[in-house]
Every structure is written in structure tokens, then in C-alpha cells.
Amino acid sequence: MAQSLAKEFTKGLWAEIPPFRLVLGLCPVLAVTKSVENGIGMGIATTFVLIFSNLLISLLRNIIPSKVRIACYVVIIATFVTIVELLMQAYTYELFLKLGIFIPLIVVNCIVLGRAEAFASKNGPVLSIADGLGIGLGFTLSLAALGAVRELLGNGTLTIWGGTPVFEMGATFLPFQFMIEAPGAFVGLGLMLCMMNLIGKK
Amino acid sequence: MREMINMIVVLTVLTAFSGGLLAAIQSGTAVKIEDQVLKFQKAPAIAEIFPEATNDPLAERFNVSADGAELQIFPGILADGSKAVAFETKGVGFGGPIGLMVGINLDTDQIIQARVTTHAETPGIGTRAKDDLSFVGQFAGKGLDTNFALKGDNGEIDAMSGATVTSKGVSIAAMQAKELYQKLKPEIIKQIK
């Protein structure tokens, strides 16, 4: 049990890390990773939704009729997304303003629905939480990593939390504006995917 | 048949439960969210509407009742000593309600400045209403006898190209502000003194 628990948890961190291995949920990945802070915020919000939707779907998996399962999953996921949205408005309003429309869009993030359909509907609650936590952390790490690359090259800073940069390139550094724009997100993602595949091959 | 009833029951119970849960959380966070909106949306908007106010419009805010609903009024004293008020009205945009904070000079009945506050518009398109000040800047200096409808609707406001629905939402909010102001002005003046 403990072994499979660890397996379900760690698979999300490398073997099935969402944007790079599963190549799912690219819309928020490309849109919000302008800075590390945005990436971490989006990742945490998604992780919260993943854990609770996985838990609830796994608990209800024998009650939900298979013909309306997708509708049920969407109701459950949308409920948790709205909770996240309200909590972010109440406690981290600045971050909410930056992420804006991409928080409600977690509802249609295929990672969340994908885990519900592929994992939580077939496994027990404890394993499902481990799966949600692993995939969610993997997603957060990927967003933070891509955000770091883009922010560092495009803006010359690194902002972990709270709006003040923890690291700044020297005054002689010319920001590579392209990385902050949408095409830069594709290029950054592609290069990171390529590197991960290179490492995975050995 | 049994299966169908089963599906209906499960979906109904699930949606009813999630509705109840969301209602509870919404009422639990409402006060906190109101505070955050005041701090991050209304305060910056008011600072731009009354850049040289000699009083503190936020601290002196008060409510007047309008048709049963409460309207929050921010009084401002301008640099030349004349009195003004700012308040927020809502219009419907592309992604939901758009808040418009309007500052009106009580002596001349002219709009001092207007700013978009809360909104859920499309990034890069409808959000220009907030970020590109040339659109809301049109309201500055206009008297309340102006027709705030868009030019396409025989009004005097230029819509933003590509964002007609957002522009219309802002224009509706402005028209509503005009109507509310005309109705509530006597009561506002009474409360300010």
C-alpha cells in the first residue's frame, strides 16, 4: 500500500509531469507563465482543485451513474474552482487580478478532468489524493520552471511571491522581450520538453 | 426507467449540494472580498479621479439609499475647494458586470473623470476599457446633459473598435450613473454637510 501510494505520488513529478509528459492543460501553461509568481499561484489553485475533485469523485465513484459521469465530474470540479476563485478574491486579490480569467478556466483544464476520468473514478480516496497531489505539484513545478525561464530572459528578474523580485539581472542586461510574449511561451515550452526528453533517454 | 431516475436523482442531489456549499462560502467571504475590492479597485480609481483631493474620500465614504439599494458615495473636496462625489455603477459587458467609478462635480454637474473598476472582460480586447485611458477619458469634462450612449446608438461616446459589447457596458454604466446622480443629488448634498 505504502509503496503504491508513493508510486502514484511521484509519477506526477516526473514520469507523468502534466505539461511536459502528458502535454495537457497547455492553455494556462502558456498564458500565465509570464513570471514565477503567476506560475506558482496558478499551480497551487489547480492543485487544490485536483486534490478535492479527485477525493470527491473517488468517494462517489460507485454512486455516479456512468452515463452522466462527465456531467457529475464537471459539477464537482466547477464547485471547487468557484471556491478557489472566491478564496483568492478574499485573501490574495492582487494575484487574482493577474491570473484573472484563467482561474475560472481551470474548470475546462483537461488535466483535472483527465485525472477524474482516468484515475479517481477507478481508485480509492487515499490513492486518488496522492495522485491529485502528485500531478498538482508536478504542474506547479512545471509552471514555476517555465515562468522562471521566461521571466529571467524576458524581464531580467525573478519574483517568487509578493511582487518584489528576489533576483535582478545587472543593469547591463537587455530584456529579451520576445520571451514574455505568447510565442516565447511556445519556444520556452518546446525547449524544456526537448531537454526533458534528452535526459529521459539516458 | 430505474436507471433514468437514478441519473436524475444523483445529478439533482449533486447540483443542489454544490449550490448550497457555494452560497455558504460566498456569504462567508463577502465582507472580505468587499474590503479587497475597496483596497485594490476602488481606492486606485478614486485616487485617479480626485488626484488633488484635500480630504480622504475613502475614509469619509457614506451610503445613500437608492430605490431600496444602497449606493456607496465617496465625497471629495477638489483643490479649488469645490465639492465632488464619486460612486460606482455597473453595466453588463462581455464577461459579466463591469464597474465604472464616476466622479461628478457637485457645483457644475460635470463629470470630472471616470475609471473602470471590477470586470471580467477578455484580456487584450475588453480589458482595454480599463488599461487604455483614452476610452474612459472621453467622459472627463462632459456635462450631465450629454447622451452617454455610443455613437452607433445616436450618442456621443466613441466605442473601442473590436470591443463593442464592453464599450456598451461602460456606456450603460455611465447612463445609470447620470440617472442615479440626478435622482439622489438632494440627498447627497444633505449628507455631505
- pLDDT > 70 fraction of chain B, expressed in percent and rounded: 97
Interchain contact, A100 vs B7, CB within 8 Å: no
- Looking up cell 464616476 gives B102
Q: What is the pLDDT, as a whole number, of residue A50?
A: 94
Interchain contact, B21 vs A93, CB within 8 Å: no
Query: For B5-24, what is the mean pLDDT?
Result: 94
- pLDDT tens digits for B84-131? 899 999 999 998 899 999 999 988 889 999 999 988 888 778 888 888
Cβ atoms of A86 and B27 closer than 8 Å: no
Residue among A111, A60, A61 at smallest CA distance from A81: A111
Q: What is the pLDDT, as a whole number, of residue A75?
A: 94
Contact residues, chain A, for B6 at CB < 8 Å: 65
Minimum distance, in Å, between the CA of residue A71 and any CA atom of chain B: 8
CA distance B85 to B75: 4
Helix (H, G, I), strand (E, B) or coil at B57: coil
Is the pLDDT at A87 greater than 90? The verdict is: yes
- pLDDT tens digits for B55-88? 888 888 888 886 677 788 899 888 888 888 999 9
CA distance B114 to A47: 39
Is the dihedral angle over the CA atoms A73, A75, A78, A84 positive or is it negative? Answer: negative
Q: What is the pLDDT, as a whole number, of residue A98?
A: 83
- Cα–Cα distances in Å, from A174 out to A65, A95, A146, A156? 58, 27, 20, 8
Minimum distance, in Å, between the CA of residue B10 and any CA atom of chain A: 7
CA distance B172 to A166: 44
Q: What is the pLDDT, as a whole number, of residue A178?
A: 85
Mean pLDDT of chain A: 87
Interchain contact, B7 vs A65, CB within 8 Å: yes
Most confident of the following: A116-120, A197-201, B16-20, B159-163: B16-20
Q: Beta-carbon neighbour count of residue B182 at 10 Å?
A: 11
Interchain contact, B25 vs A89, CB within 8 Å: no
- Cα–Cα distances in Å, from B120 out to A98, A103, B173? 12, 11, 15
CA-based Rg of chain A, rounded to a whole angstrom?
Answer: 18
Q: What is the pLDDT, as a whole number, of residue A162?
A: 67
Query: For B10-33, what is the mean pLDDT?
Result: 94
Q: Cβ-count burial of B186 within 10 angstroms (0-12 exposed, 13-18 middle, 19+ buried)?
A: exposed
Is the pLDDT at B168 greater than 90? The verdict is: yes
Query: For A131-149, what is the mean pLDDT?
Result: 91
Query: For A86-107, what is the mean pLDDT?
Result: 88
Q: What is the pLDDT, as a whole number, of residue B183?
A: 86
Q: What is the pLDDT, as a whole number, of residue A1?
A: 62
Dihedral class, residue A17 (left if φ above 0, else alpha if ψ from -120 to 50, else beta) = beta
ipTM of the complex in this document:
0.80
- pLDDT tens digits for A181-200? 888 899 999 998 888 888 87
pLDDT-derived band of residue A163, with 50, 70 and 90 as boundaries? low
CA distance A18 to A135: 7
Dihedral class, residue B81 (left if φ above 0, else alpha if ψ from -120 to 50, else beta) = left
Q: Beta-carbon neighbour count of residue B119 at 10 Å?
A: 25
Report H helices in A156-201: 182-201
CA distance B116 to B32: 21
CA-based Rg of chain B, rounded to a whole angstrom?
Answer: 20
Helix (H, G, I), strand (E, B) or coil at B123: coil
CA distance A153 to B38: 35
Is the pLDDT at A172 greater than 80? The verdict is: no
Q: What is the pLDDT, as a whole number, of residue B21?
A: 95
Cβ atoms of A139 and A27 closer than 8 Å: no
Mean pLDDT of chain B: 88
Q: What is the pLDDT, as a whole number, of residue B169?
A: 93
Chains A and B form CB pairs within 8 A to the count of: 57
Q: What is the pLDDT, as a whole number, of residue B189?
A: 84
Q: Please tell me which residue of chain B has the smallest CA distance to A90.
A: B33
Query: For B186-190, what is the mean pLDDT?
Result: 84
